[in-house]
A and B are shown apart, each in its own frame.
Chain A
Amino acid sequence: MIYERNRLQTILIYCGGLLILFWSAAPFLWQLSTSFQNDVELTAATPSFIPSPLTFDHYANIFVEKSFQLYLRNSLIVAGFTTLFCLAVGAMAGFALSRLDIKGRFGILAAILSVSMFPQIAIVGPLYLLASDLALLDTYSGLVITYVALGVPLVTWVMFGYFDTLPREIDEAARMDGCSTVGLFWRIILPISAPSLVTTGLLAFIAAWNEFMFALAFTSNIDHQTVPVGIANFTNLHYIPWGDIAAASIVVTIPLVLLVLLFQRHIIDGLTQGAVKE
């Protein structure tokens, strides 16, 4: 910057930065603090922000009484397989659209993206009937098949954007050496795209991990229900177990937060490339 900020502007900028930090982090930190407090302190007239005494009861409750590990297992399986299939299908499509001779590639890309803009409520009913006919209700497969289709447009779009930045000379050199199309994709393009695959996979994983409506409609018991459904159903007969809910929230959110913080640079780049491209 050429011009200098005056003192007032500097103070305003730092205050603003602190406000955004507070806005983004405070509710989550309060949830963290809540998860370590006894119900007595939680229902006191004045909330205490630092847990004292510190208790792990809520964590014990959710794992022992509410079998939270089963929801976690279901979510891990569903989101894990969704991510793998999303990457495979999306990378293939992105590769074809970016590197191969396809007429109307931007038309196809636009069509793929516009499919993802359908309101999901419009497909949940018919899909439920279909899944019921095919005996896919209360199965992992039913959820994975659905989530792959929901996630793959974004994966295709981001991977296409990345593949398109790779120089064409790579393709020509590979062809010269007698590489087939599959070989070019599998042995050359995919390995050099590993970093992009990881961050794109992370986006697909988060989307599948967080999805609620289809999981609610397609599963009816703890054997296949995912974490969001589990948390939504956390209620007690006589009171709302806020401490338990907070503990469960922390358990499912901490891994996401850590992953996101680790990959933040790439996530921001990946997600914003579509919006600012003209």
Chain B
Amino acid sequence: MPRLAPLLFLLPIAVSLGSVSLYPILNGLWLSFTNTSLVTQEHDFIGLENYAQLLGDDLFWNAWRHTVYFTVVSTLAETILGLVMALLLVEHFAGRSIVRAAMLVPWAMPTVVTSKMFGWLFDGQYGVVNWALRSSGLIAENINWYGSIDHAMTTIIIADVWKTAPFMALLLMAGLQTIPKSLIEAARMDGAGPVATFIHVRLPLLMSTLLIAGMFRALDAFRVFDLVYVLTGGGPADATETLSTLSYKTLFSALQFGYGSAMATAMFITEALIAIGFGFFIMRKMRAPR
């Protein structure tokens, strides 16, 4: 019994993750080598045909480019904005706890609600953002934000930055608070200004937190689904189609489970590469002598 007890405690999680995460991943890999379709009811092994088709599929590469663009721009914007917010929030000021509490609102809200909310804020006709920009003289005519090919992706990025930058700030703030105050005070004594203190003391010590938080954010941004699916549905004219939305449509609208699985697997591989890339930097950072 004593030998067995630890395993019994781990049994439920093993069953749960095994059946709902591991099995579908392997099954998805298998499906990607088949022509499984709920329309034609075929289910035959076709080797690498799906992947060959993927390489020449303009829609796939279009979605791939959008996803990479979205991931890079939103991760960068969220990290930089989050860092600025975090630096401000480690300073003591009256009402700081209220600000910190308010920052949890975007994080806690369902993404579908965020999506609809930005749909209303950025509405091309009655949106309050257009009104504000017009009243302040920044634009002369209403902009058709997510209804136009030129601005749809930008609108989605703004919504994503709104939702996740505050949370990024809270993570980075926790990282900043672990930096010993004595180090910062010593730098001040030596006559370093706030900017020099930031660049030479805080930033180097914050680097591993920044990289880890950035990695999680990038992985999350790469699989963006709710925001796009609800706000634009991938349109207009595929201008905001991402890998998740395209895979979802291939699976559940076209009912091509084989081809859709190949697409999801390709996405999975790209995600793994992102993780490995970040992991490489994180390892190097951690090994570097302090």
Contacts and interface: CB of A to CB of B under 8 A. Distances in A.
A20 interface: yes
A231 B110 CA distance: 10
A63 B95 CA distance: 37
Nearest to B243: A121
Interface in A243-278: 245-246, 249, 252-253, 256-257, 259-261, 264, 267-268, 271-272, 275-276, 278
Contacts of B9: 92-93, 95-96, 100, 181, 185
A231 B24 contact: no
A123 B25 contact: yes
A125 B261 contact: yes
Contact of A181 (B2, B27, B212, B243): B2
B264 A24 contact: no
Contacts of B289: none
A115 interface: yes
Interface string B210-237: 0011001001001101100110000000
Nearest to B244: A121
- Give the contact-size bracket for chain B: 35 or more
A150 B222 CA distance: 18
A145 B20 contact: yes
Interface in B120-173: 120-121, 123, 125-126, 128, 131, 162, 166, 169-171, 173
Nearest to A122: B264
Contact of A30 (B21, B88, B121, B225): B121
Contacts of B110: 209-210, 212, 227-228, 231, 252-253, 256
Contacts, number: 277
A237 B236 CA distance: 19
Contacts of B117: 27-28, 31, 246, 249
Given A181-B5, A268-B170, A126 B261 contact: yes
Contacts of A77: none
A257 B251 CA distance: 34
A213 interface: yes
Interface string A85-97: 0001110110111
A153 B14 CA distance: 11
Given A102-B6, A231-B113, A275 B171 contact: yes
Nearest to B169: A20
Interface residues of A, number: 96
A236 interface: no
Contacts of A167: none
B44 interface: no
Given A121-B223, A121-B264, A257-B108, A275 B248 contact: no
Nearest to A148: B16
Contacts of A194: none
Given A152-B17, A246-B120, A120 B223 contact: yes
A117 interface: yes
A122 B25 contact: yes
Contact of B6 (A96, A253, A256): A96
B109 A253 contact: yes
Interface in B70-128: 85, 88-89, 91-93, 95-96, 98-113, 115-121, 123, 125-126, 128
Nearest to A182: B5
Contact of B21 (A21, A115, A268): A115
B25 A118 contact: yes
Nearest to B96: A17
Interface of B: 2, 5-6, 9-10, 12-13, 16-17, 19-25, 27-28, 31, 85, 88-89, 91-93, 95-96, 98-113, 115-121, 123, 125-126, 128, 131, 162, 166, 169-171, 173-175, 178, 185, 188, 194, 208-209, 212-213, 216, 219, 222-223, 225-226, 229-230, 243-244, 247-248, 251-252, 257, 260-261, 264-265, 267-268, 271, 275, 286
Given A92-B13, A185-B9, A240-B123, 5 more contacts: A17-B96, A20-B89, A128-B251, A146-B20, A149-B19
7 contacts: A24-B103, A93-B12, A93-B13, A121-B267, A145-B20, A212-B110, A249-B113
**Nearest 8 CB-CB pairs, A to B?**
A149-B20, A96-B9, A272-B174, A123-B24, A126-B24, A210-B110, A126-B27, A228-B112
